[in-house]
Chain A
Amino acid sequence: MKQFRRLTYPYIIWISAMIVIPMLLIVLYAFTKQGNDVATLQFTFDNFTKFFTDPDFLKILFLSLRIALITTILCVLIGYPVAYAIAQASPARQNFYILLITLPMWINMLVRTYAWIGILADNGVINNILQFFGMSPTKLLYTDFAVTLGMVYNFVPFMILQIHSSLTKMDRSLLDAANDLGANKVQAFRRVTFPLSLPGVISGITLVFLPAVSSFVIPKLLGGAGKPLIGNIIETQFITVGEWNFGSAISMIMAVIIMASMYVTRKLDKDNDEEKGKRGRAL
């Protein structure tokens, strides 16, 4: 294998140029003042102070985390039963269902989100139906509901795939063993299947929470201009306002929050692992 190692060099150069250097630049921007050129860098914490002292920004941060959290919880609640049902089917059918789940992902996310505008708009599909039955039209588009719906719709396949793969990896004979030891289907699920599928749930949570907390397309299209989330603020700072330094600082804050939440979920997972190793008895 050693002789192939050289083949990775172009990739390493690529990563450095396209990922590592830009990230370092973001850090550099976050800690410097606007308008200086590289020769005369002026370090400052002003960008961070500005964010943490402005209640509007903090409120937006809180809203973003809340929507991401709700999205993640909904994804688990919807994704788990779906993944479980798929895992019960015959292998050929499972492939078909997985295909159905992944099929929408072949279409651009922007297009799929635009479709929701048509459905949720004041004169959209849902309101038309409501009116047809004589009910008063409801405001759906540009609400938290619309944003959450868009996020769940976009991210639930990741949850389903993760949980499904952890369920199918499970040895079927464990269920036979549980039945054999007197557990009926519900007991076997609660004591064997569910605990063993938790790693899948946790990696699903990571895969849903991260894009949900930093998404800017979905809140922009479905939440409208009046409901910006943290992703939109970053986007505005870079593109509209031109405050690259402040935008970089918010990006860094988000990165830290994301890393912290990943650390917590990892830790939860690991505790689970260690429980069976050390703590032993759970009477």
Chain B
Amino acid sequence: MKKLIQFKNIVKEFDGQLVLKGINLDINENEFVTLLGPSGCGKTTLLRILGGFLNQTEGHVVFDGEVIDNVPPYKRELNTVFQKYALFPHMSVYDNIAFGLKIKKVSKDVIEQKVMKMLKLVNLEGYEDRSVTLLSGGQQQRVAIARALVNEPMVLLLDEPLGALDLKLRKEMQHELKKIQQEVGITFIYVTHDQEEALTMSDKIVVMKDGEIQQIGTPIEIYNEPENEYVARFIGDSNIIPGIMLEDYKVMFDDLKFDCVDFGFKEKEPVDIVIRPEDLDIVEETQGKLTGTVKSVLFKGVHYEIIVETVPGTEVTVRMNVSKEHPAASSDASEKISANDFYVDLEDVAELNDAEVIARADAQAWNVEDDELLSIAKIEYDVKEEIGTYPVTFTSAGGVSVTTKIFVVQQTYVENKKANEAISAFNIFKTVDDIKESTALDTDLKTWANAQGWKLDDEDAVVEITDVDYDFDPDHIEEGVYTVRFSTQGRELKVHTTDVSEEGAEVGLLFQPEDIHVMNKMGSY
């Protein structure tokens, strides 16, 4: 196959912002190439540079062996199907398609012949005298394709041409476009953000992100061997699990070792692992390489999407004492100040500072008249690194003060050996108003309870607390004792299967070594 187009280190800058960061890409003759990526990844910019509508800041475009950097668009041997078709509204279907030929001064009878042939190719026979403004989206699309193809370009550029069509029509046009490309036998360069469209039509997919190419490959390569987490997430559904490459053909994740077919990584290199949902099979608990609990079952038409939790999350439950009034709010005519008792872990006493104390006690001073918050001018506390109860006094700028208690305790925590993590949280003292006034209750509860999670084998590795549950209605809370539960997410794997499972069932998951796709961690790529 002959190289038709070469992008050589294309850089594009808009107002000091790098939109393309050095693109190198070869496109062969008669290829259906798709530039795939989210909006803003630079794919349309690259296409417009090839079309000649934009000039690159650096680099060269080579077309059929010649550098075409300074060739204006109307002299380039390629045609474009624009995003919103850009049909000429003052012309009929026929005149739109004939536009390019008329410019080239082709004789009338040849124009007529070619236009009619094109109308046949795009299934629009008999529409030649219609106004383009009266056509449906799909028909306009076909006119746009015919208008470009009638000029017999060497390359057809298509800029998200199906974006404006509804799903059913889009699917039809996908097949039709592929058919047209095979029939006319020229290079198509297709820009889209739709991964399914890319997989269906392309010979070659170029995945782009932030002005850089992430991966180039056939649809099957891109799907089966994504080079990084980004590509894996963008193409198809996937389970992405952090792991460690132990040695060639051996990978470890969630503290379990597996055989795989990947090699060439450094020993003990942190990697991301992709397992496609359709590569996982649900089997008897005893026969699986992984075991877990079925969390949810969704019917998706052709298959079920089953979520299996292979590693349970960790949870810790604390008590929350809610009182009606602030325990020790003192007041004078104009200012009020309030604060709550709170617990501190013995280990954390050394790290306690003013800001931390204010946050944990939720100390606030405010003006009675207009409810404006005032600053807290002074904090006095004397906490020793011993278990016990210590007073803390907050004083506002106006001299009003309140004293609450700091309980220094030996913190207990919940260990989850299977997930290699632990979390802890303290009991909370709050007032009805505190709860009602909180605008982000989950985050506030985490702060008040000092809820934290960490890895058992590495105390500095933070494990995020993803869920906060409580047994009260924050809008109608009354005084009393409530429970608050903090939990982490375990490992959940998505399975696509045609066999249904029961929610809550204990199952095994089976997969083959070749179903494990090991990728570089993003950033090190």
Chain A: minimal CB distance from B210 (Å): 25
B88: which A residues are within 8 A, CB to CB? 174, 177-178, 191-192, 196
Q: Using an 8 Å CB-CB cutoff, how does the interface string of B55-90 with A read, 1 for contact, 0 for none?
A: 000000000000000001111000110111011111
Decide if A176 touches B73 in the complex (CB within 8 Å).
yes
Contact between A181 and B151, CB atoms less than 8 A apart: yes
- Return B176 CB to nearest CB of chain A, in Å: 21
Is B256's beta carbon under 8 Å from chain A? no
Indicate which residue in A174, A182, A184, A278 contacts B100 across the interface (CB closer than 8 Å): A182
Q: Check: B416 CB closer than 8 A to any chain A CB.
A: no
Determine how close the nearest CB of chain A comes to the CB of B110; give it in whole angstroms.
12
Question: A181: which B residues are within 8 A, CB to CB?
Answer: 74, 79, 99-100, 103, 147-148, 151
Q: Which residue of B lies closest to A179 (CB)?
A: B73
B128 within 8 A of A: yes
Q: Judging by beta carbons under 8 Å apart, are B95 and A281 in contact?
A: yes
A176 & B86 in contact (Cβ 8 Å cutoff): yes
Main secondary structure of the interface of A (DSSP, over half): helix
A276 at the interface (CB under 8 A from B): yes
Cβ 8 A contact of B89, one of A191, A276, A278: A276
Say whether, besides A178-B99, A182-B151, A276-B131, A173 and B90 are in contact (CB < 8 Å): no
Q: A276-B90, A280-B128, A281-B95 are in contact. Are A177 and B104 (CB under 8 A)?
A: no
Q: Assess whether A282 is interfacial by the CB under 8 Å rule.
A: yes
Q: How far is the CB of A281 from chain B (nearest CB, A)?
A: 5
0/1 string, B23-58, CB within 8 A of A gives 1: 000000000000000000000000000011100000
A196 touches B128 (CB 8 A): no
Interface check A171, CB cutoff 8 A: yes
Number of interface residues of B (CB under 8 A): 39
Asked if B134 CB lies within 8 Å of chain A CBs, one says yes
A182 touches B131 (CB 8 A): no
Contact B89 A196 (CB under 8 A): yes
Question: Which A residues are CB-close (under 8 A) to B87?
Answer: 177
**Distance from A250 Cβ to chain B, minimum over Cβ atoms (Å):** 40
Asked if B90 and A184 make an inter-chain contact with CB atoms under 8 angstroms apart, the answer reads no
From residue 169 to 225 of chain A, which have CB atoms closer than 8 A to chain B? Answer: 171, 173-174, 176-184, 187, 191-192, 195-196
B322 to chain A, nearest CB (A): 48
- Report the bound CA distance from A266 to B99 in whole Å: 28
A278 to B95 alpha-carbon distance, docked (Å): 12
A180-B92 contact given A171-B86, A173-B82, CB 8 Å threshold: no
Within residues 113 to 139 of chain B, which ones have a CB less than 8 A from any CB in chain A? 128-134
Contact between chains at A182 and B103 (CB < 8 Å): yes
The 4 closest A-B pairs by CB, nearest first: A280-B129, A181-B100, A177-B86, A173-B86
